[in-house]
Amino acid sequence: MSNQPFFKRKWVQIGLAIGVITLGVLASELLVATAPTASRKPPEKTARLVTTEAVESGNYNVSLLGYGVVQAEQQVTLQARVSGTVQSIGPQFVPGATFKKGDVLVQLDNTDYRIELQTAQASLAQAQSNLTSEQGNQVVAQSDFELLGLNVDERERALILRKPQLEAAKATVQSAQAGVERAKVNLDRTVLRAPFDGVVVSREASVGAQVSASSTLGVLASSKAYWVSVAVPQADVKWINFPSGQQKGSTVCVNDASSREKGCHKGYVLSLQTSVQDNGRQAQVLIEIPRTSDKTLQPLLLAQYVKVRFEGIELKNVFKLAPSTVHDSKVWVNDNGELDIRPVNIAFRSAEYVLIDKGLKDGEHIVTSNLGSPVNRMAIRTNTANASNTPTPAAAVKP
């Protein structure tokens, strides 16, 4: 009897638990059934923000960049032409110094050559005196011959009139005159003068040194103009104008290879050399840079490594774009809010700009910003406050 209330309470607890669970399930189903439903909408397409610039065609010269080493237009080795002792050296005969044509660079001791000239002049005077005496003998011989009235042939007549003696005296005078001229030349050669305006490359002469004919005294270079042999890819030679008749070749702008100065030395193309450079098989274009008096420019130096910019052939009605705006021979055009990935024809390409002759029209706006994954006809938009609506001849190309 004592266990009956216990079992009764247990079944009551189990019934209550089942009832609570049942109510929870029913409440959950009711909440799900009466919950509000969200309507699904297709995602809105967002136009990509880009920057654009208008383009306009124009006429542009192809610009090529090459490198080379400065050399003198003329360079000679100064050599002695007679032997002697170096007596003095001109103040201009210093490596790196400039000189004018005719400046005395080296003076040799001329004592022996002055004596030689005096001796030659004395010999000439003696020969002229002998000629005068022989001419007097000719007058006497002619008078005697006419008095005697001899009938002789031409050979005997010449002997009687002393013609061989006269010819010998004349030959002696001519030889003496040549001796004087030779002595004068040797005396003049003791003074070595500059053959042109230029600069001293090196000097090997010293005061007191004994030199002989053909001894090297130094090296001189002309400063009238400089030459540079520029290595140019063979495919780019077609863009360069070479001299023809009275027409000069393409103009060039020359600077030190590491210089950032705005000015440059102006020059022009002289010729296309007949051989190619072994390293890279590049063509060699010879240019000339006339000497300039512009003090604002750094002077060119021999053996200096320089960069040379050629102003080549002019292309007409082309568009000049920055290389970053051309993608594998295609450009991105803003076509009324849609991206038009358009193929174009590249007339010329360099590291600084691209010239396009087909595929674009004046006034069209090209996309200058970078797009990670461009898709043809995708929606694009521009910030109208910053967008450029004015066509520019060289869109996105910095001068």
The number of residues making up the chain comes to 399
Q: Which helix (H) or strand (E) holds 17?
A: helix 4-34
Q: Are residues 127 and 116 in the same domain?
A: yes
Rounded Cα distance, 358 and 317, in Å: 9
- By the 10 Å C-beta count (0-12 exposed, 13-18 middle, 19+ buried), 184 is classed as middle
Question: H/E/C letters for each residue in 147-164?
Answer: HHCCCCCHHHHHHHCCHH
Domain end (from 298, 314, 330): 314
Do 306 and 322 lie in a common domain? no
- Cα 87 from Cα 379, distance rounded (Å): 88
Instruction: Decide if 266 is inside a domain.
Output: yes
Q: Sheet of 365-367: strands edge to edge?
A: 52-54, 365-367, 330-335, 338-343
> Model pTM greater than 0.75?
no
Residues 208, 180, single domain; the answer is no
Query: How many independent structural domains does the chain possess?
Result: 4
**Residue 394: per-residue pLDDT:** 47
- Whether residue 286 is found in the same domain as residue 166: no
Task: Note whether 231 and 300 are same-domain residues.
Answer: yes
pLDDT at 165: 80
Same domain, 55 and 90: no
Q: How far apart are CA 34 and CA 251, in angstroms?
A: 87
Q: Is residue 28 part of a domain?
A: no
* Element of type H or E holding 338: strand 338-343
Check which CATH number belongs to the domain holding 333 and give it. 2.40.420.20
Do residues 281 and 181 share a domain?
no
As given in the structure block, the two tokens for residue 201 are 């490359």
Same domain, 88 and 211: yes
% residues pLDDT > 70 (the chain) = 84
**What does the pLDDT read at residue 387?**
47
**Series of mean pLDDT values for 10-residue runs along the chain (399 residues):** 58 70 71 64 73 94 92 93 95 93 95 94 92 79 69 71 80 93 95 93 93 93 92 90 90 88 89 79 91 82 92 94 93 93 93 92 93 88 61 46
In a domain, 38, yes or no: no
Over residues 32-64, the pLDDT tens digits come to 666 666 556 665 567 889 999 999 999 999 999
Same domain for 155 and 248?
no
Q: Which pair of structure tokens corresponds to residue 312? A: 């080549």
Task: Answer with the one of 189, 210, 244 that is the final residue of a domain.
Answer: 189
Say yes or no: 231 and 310 in one domain: yes
Domain with 352, as residue range(s), is: 50-59+316-382
Are residue 298 and residue 230 in the same domain, yes or no?
yes
Residues 120 and 181 in one domain: yes
Decide which of 174, 189, 204 is a domain's last residue. 189
